[in-house]
Amino acid sequence: MEITTLSQTLINLLISLSYAIITLIVSVTTLYMIDHFFYKKIDFIEEIKNGNIAASIFYSVILLFVAIIVTISIN
């Protein structure tokens, strides 16, 4: 394995990692905005703490869809 190949692989790894971190930050921020602007009367975190499985599934699915949209837009 050549040194240039190893350095290129490390650079690609760092780029992919930075994309993943940016996607995570944007996804969580978007989830927070959706939670506070669209669902003002529902406290999902409190519902999840109380054992509401439907709230946790709904919250997870929203985060998943936001992550998919952000990932597609970055690529």
Residue pLDDT, tens place only, 23-44? 778 877 887 888 788 888 888 8
- How confident is the model at residue 1, as a pLDDT? 55
pTM of the model: 0.59
CA distances from 46 to 32, 41, 49, 56, 57 (A): 14, 12, 5, 10, 14
How far is it, in rounded angstroms, from Cα 45 to Cα 64? 17
- How confident is the model at residue 53, as a pLDDT? 94
Which residues of the chain fall short of a pLDDT of 50? Answer: none
- How confident is the model at residue 50, as a pLDDT? 94
Cβ–Cβ under 8 Å, residues 38 and 49: no
